[in-house]
Structure 1
């Protein structure tokens, strides 16, 4: 803790780098995964090859994947961000696909019978129902991204992993402990925030709240 207080400017800078890498990777990964999940939903025969490919990529060790990407993107944060995007795809695509399939067809038919067009059904019916499930996938993917971003410091990407690797190289337990505490705290904080969003968007909670308001 003494190291954190004495070097708060460095720690804050590394924290911002970590958040920037993680946030950018997750945003891009969600956009790609959403498109792939929609494609799989429209063409079910694509599910096996798409999930098979993503599952194979997920089995690669993160360190080895980043090494493979370095000749293409360079020894910097870009290689790490691409690795984070690839690793989170299998989690997000599977989760988004399950969310889309969880909606009962009768619900969509009822909405269609009420005169809703495609976009109205998507925004007012499908989105509220699948949002909590999708957020669960985003939460898991974000935790994975935070972990990979930590390893990325070894490849010049910066972030909180810098404290860990510098601490090991310099045999300084204070740096190692500071880095470990910060990475763990960041993961727990992000997990708690996204869990809270899952709870807030839960259809059961909204129904219960509406029922209580009517009383």
Structure 2
């Protein structure tokens, strides 16, 4: 183990940094696009079925195939890797944002409208706070997926820990395989725990009756 770090420590640290960078950028883009889109689609259920259906189809495309499709368009490197990972990050966040918003008790929505709130106010002050746990669950799932999928980015020069794994497979070196796999697992666990903490941190702590009082 010490010999492995002595020979590959610098490259491993660089790969870990690249892996985290690719994962966070793709996830951040997914959140910025999917959460507002899911909130918007909650107001148009028929359109939501079509959009989520398209996202589901994209999700079925194998990761390696999608990365290969990026090459003729964007070339190789980090940019096509981020775009492909961003596309994969969308579905869990989009679906949960839509379900979270749509799943808010209709009586709360009706009560808020009865108090004179506009549609925008109902979304911001009633539906969105109550949908946060479901939305965060989608982000949490997407975060773990993206960390795992980022290993494939090495196939098109995206960097990351996938380089260790694939080099190890090609040269039959278990130390390189474990050296790439173990950090990926650790990063995924850290991302999951962090997202779980944020989920609890931003989830409303009030009961339904208290929520109605607060929004009054």
TM-score range, shorter chain: 0.7 to 0.9
Partner of 1:136: 137
CA-CA distance at 1:6 after TM superposition: 5.2
Q: Structure 2 length as normaliser, TM-score?
A: 0.85
**Partners of 1:102 and 1:92 in 2: how far apart?**
15
Partner of 1:17: 18
Q: How does 1:54-133 map to 2 (within 5 A)?
A: 54-114=55-115, 120-133=121-134
Asked if 2 retains the 8 angstrom alpha-carbon contact of 1:80 and 1:152, the reply is yes
Partner-residue secondary structure (3-state), 1:207: coil
Q: How does 1:5-44 map to 2 (within 5 A)?
A: 7-44=8-45
User: 1:173-196: per-residue Cα shift (whole Å, max 9, x none)?
Assistant: 111111111101111111111112
Q: How does 1:165-184 map to 2 (within 5 A)?
A: 165-184=166-185
When structure 1 is superposed on structure 2, of 115-124 and 129-138 the one drifting more is: 115-124
Partner-residue secondary structure (3-state), 1:158: coil
Partner of 2:161: 160
How has the CA–CA distance of structure 1 residues 42 and 110 changed in structure 2, closer, same or farther, with 3 Å as cutoff? closer
**Partners of 2:40 and 2:126 in 1: how far apart?**
20
User: 1:181-215: per-residue Cα shift (whole Å, max 9, x none)?
Assistant: 11011111111111122223333xx238xx9xxxx
CA-CA distance at 1:35 after TM superposition: 3.6
User: 1:73-101: per-residue Cα shift (whole Å, max 9, x none)?
Assistant: 11112221111111122212111110001
TM superposition outliers: structure 1 runs of 4+ over 6 Å: none
When structure 1 is superposed on structure 2, of 85-94 and 130-139 the one drifting more is: 85-94
**Partners of 2:195 and 2:7 in 1: how far apart?**
31
Asked if 2 retains the 8 angstrom alpha-carbon contact of 1:80 and 1:148, the reply is no
- Stretches of structure 1 that go unaligned for 5 or more consecutive residues are none
Partner of 2:214: none
**Partners of 1:71 and 1:173 in 2: how far apart?**
33
Aligned length: 207
User: 1:20-72: per-residue Cα shift (whole Å, max 9, x none)?
Assistant: 11111111112221243234223222123212211111111111111111100
Partner-residue secondary structure (3-state), 1:142: helix
